[in-house]
């Protein structure tokens, strides 16, 4: 059996590594001609790290990212609502890394080249269509620079890991439109002194009045860190763009003008940002089918979700391991793709829907409602610790990283 993987992003490269681990031959075709350090930060929570650890990638990620210690929740006045340890500090068998997406991608890319050989990945090849017959698939590619059509590539099956704008998904769902969540997102990175524990993943404010997610993603030898931040604002107007479309601070900074907290100065983060990117909060409605005979969708091509809680990348990594396991378990690859859909579609559809209505920062929204957005004297008068813990654990369980299940599956 040979597999063609369309797309060399997080899902595509991880799928290649798991297939290789299981002795299944594969080739990857990626549309960009050269990987560039695009994007900003991603959180790799223990449920994703469990999978990457089984590929032996933990040391490479530890060298580049930051092992997170805690989640912290704050209101828009910078007042502390709730903190809880995360990753190994919370008793997981696996760490939680906050890392630049480009660093995560580089670790995967280096592993693919070292294990499968440089020939396994062909850059500058955009997939335009897939076809199939009873013996295999034909993947039609074009040169992504010249647009020149190339001879079709044949394999036993094709796995489409071509991301949010998947050409393969568009072939099966031609009329689909992006689903906009009414939120625009600006993201950037700023070099600065460590804040709080130096490894805190913080969420502050509420979506109706401006929300921030802030965490460090890289250490520098001089003791400074690269701090990743994302500003979310509810808005009706939006433009579909890609992950590297530049944004302007004039479009969002007014919501945060007085966010000079004792633990972080948010306007200063904006003023000193190395770059700012803009992206709308988009996903797609869950579909009923990913497997179409010898072709199957995986990662964002299958279940694009809001970029919240690191789950876009985490779920594509879990998909990758599941796919490799099922291709070994089923003698018939078509049956394996159907089994993959049956196992992975329901839980990921649930995450897509949960991210829409109850994001990881639901805790702050509850406090915002109860205080009318005003400062509080004592958080205990607003919400009990037990309630805070229950909200947090509820999300963890739906997103697939609750403590017991994550550690049990590892065993
Ligand atoms: C450049 C970039 C930057 C990103 N930055 C962030 C970020 O900062 N934070 C965050 O949370 N998420 C980010 N994402 C999304 C995140 O990586 C995904 O949600 C998640 O990792 C799921 O992985 P995936 O492999 O399914 O999709 P992706 O990681 O998006 O990978 C898809 C890959 O397929 C390639 N491709 C697309 N179309 C074709 C085609 N027709 N033929 C061949 N190849 C194709 C793309 O170039 C890309 O390499 C980014 C994605 C990209 C591509």
> Is ligand 1 within 6 A of the CB of residue 10?
yes
Answer positive or negative: Cα dihedral of 55, 60, 65, 67: positive
Q: How far is the CA of 265 from the centre of ligand 1 (A)?
A: 31
Please determine, for residue 102, whether its predicted confidence score (pLDDT) is greater than 90.
yes
Mean pLDDT of 112-126: 97
User: How large is the greatest C-alpha to C-alpha distance in the chain, in angstroms?
Assistant: 69
Report the distance separating Cα 188 and Cα 190, nearest Å.
7
Q: Which of 49-58, 88-97, 237-246, 269-278 has the lowest mean pLDDT?
A: 237-246
Q: Which of 25-34, 229-238, 292-301, 367-376 has the lowest mean pLDDT?
A: 229-238
Mean pLDDT of 179-183: 86
Please determine, for residue 163, whether its predicted confidence score (pLDDT) is greater than 80.
yes
H or E stretch covering 218: strand 210-219
- pLDDT computed for residue 411 by the predictor: 47
Q: Burial, 34: exposed, middle or buried (Cβ in 10 Å; 0-12, 13-18, 19+)?
A: exposed
Please list, in sequence order, all residues whose beta carbon lies within 8 angstroms of the beta carbon of residue 367, skipping any fewer than 6 positions away. 75, 81, 376, 379, 382, 383
Mean pLDDT of 126-134: 97
Report the distance separating Cα 281 and Cα 299, nearest Å.
17
Please determine, for residue 347, whether its predicted confidence score (pLDDT) is greater than 90.
yes
Please list, in sequence order, all residues whose beta carbon lies within 8 angstroms of the beta carbon of residue 89, skipping any fewer than 6 positions away. 69, 70
What would you report as the CA-atom Rg of the chain, rounded to the nearest whole angstrom?
A: 21
Q: How far is the CA of 83 from the centre of ligand 1 (A)?
A: 31
> Is ligand 1 within 6 A of the CB of residue 7?
yes
Q: Which of 97-106, 134-143, 308-317 has the lowest mean pLDDT?
A: 308-317
DSSP 311-373: HHHHHHHHHHHHHHHHHHH-SSHHHHHHHHHHHHHHHHHHHHHHHHHS-TTHHHHHHHHHHTT
The closest residue, in CA terms, to atom 48 on ligand 1 is: 9
Residue 230 bridge partners (DSSP): 187, 213
Question: pTM of the prediction?
Answer: 0.94
How is residue 279 written in tokens?
């992206």
Q: Which of 90-99, 157-166, 173-182, 298-307 has the lowest mean pLDDT?
A: 173-182
Q: How far is the CA of 364 from the centre of ligand 1 (A)?
A: 29
Mean pLDDT of 388-399: 79
Cβ atoms 343, 326 nearer than 8 A: yes
- pLDDT computed for residue 111 by the predictor: 98
Strand order in the sheet with 97-100: 41-44, 97-100, 66-67
- Say which CATH architecture domain 2-65+101-177+285-357 belongs to: 3-Layer(bba) Sandwich (3.50)
């Amino acid at each position: 059996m040979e597999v063609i993987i369309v797309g060399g992003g997080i899902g595509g490269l991880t799928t290649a590594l798991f297939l290789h681990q299981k002795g299944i031959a594969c080739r990857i075709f990626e549309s960009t001609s050269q990987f560039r350090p695009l994007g900003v930060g991603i959180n790799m929570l223990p449920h994703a790290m469990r999978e990457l650890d089984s590929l032996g990638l933990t040391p490479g990620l530890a060298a580049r990212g930051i092992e997170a210690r805690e989640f912290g929740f704050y209101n828009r006045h910078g007042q502390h609502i709730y903190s809880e340890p995360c990753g190994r500090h919370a008793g997981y068998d696996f760490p939680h890394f906050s890392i630049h997406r480009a660093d995560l991608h580089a670790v995967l890319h280096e592993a693919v080249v070292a294990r499968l050989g440089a020939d396994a990945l062909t850059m500058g090849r955009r997939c335009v269509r897939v076809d199939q017959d009873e013996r295999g698939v034909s993947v039609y590619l074009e040169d992504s620079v010249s647009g020149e059509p190339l001879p079709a590539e044949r394999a036993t099956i094709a796995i489409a890991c071509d991301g949010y704008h998947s050409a393969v998904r568009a072939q099966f769902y031609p009329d689909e439109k992006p689903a906009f969540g009414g939120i625009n997102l600006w993201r950037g990175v700023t070099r600065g002194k460590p804040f709080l524990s130096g490894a805190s993943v913080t969420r502050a404010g509420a979506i109706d009045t401006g929300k921030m997610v802030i965490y460090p993603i890289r250490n520098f030898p001089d003791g400074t860190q690269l701090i990743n931040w994302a500003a979310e604002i509810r808005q009706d107007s939006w433009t579909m763009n890609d992950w590297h479309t530049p944004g302007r601070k004039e479009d969002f900074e007014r919501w945060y003008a007085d966010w000079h907290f004792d633990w972080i100065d948010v306007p200063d983060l904006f003023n000193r940002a190395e770059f700012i990117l803009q992206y709308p909060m988009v996903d797609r409605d869950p579909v009923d089918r990913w497997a179409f005979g010898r072709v199957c969708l995986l990662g964002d091509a299958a279940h694009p979700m809001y970029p919240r809680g690191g789950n876009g990348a985490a779920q594509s990594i879990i998909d990758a391991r599941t796919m490799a396991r099922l291709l070994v378990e089923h003698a018939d690859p078509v049956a394996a793709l159907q089994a993959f859909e049956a196992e992975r579609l329901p839980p990921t559809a649930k995450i897509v829907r949960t991210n829409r209505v109850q994001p990881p920062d639901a805790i702050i929204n509850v406090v915002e409602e109860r205080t009318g957005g005003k400062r509080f004297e004592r958080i205990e008068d607003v919400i009990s610790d037990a309630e805070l813990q229950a909200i947090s654990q509820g999300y963890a369980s739906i997103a697939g990283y609750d403590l017991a299940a994550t550690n049990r599956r590892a065993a």
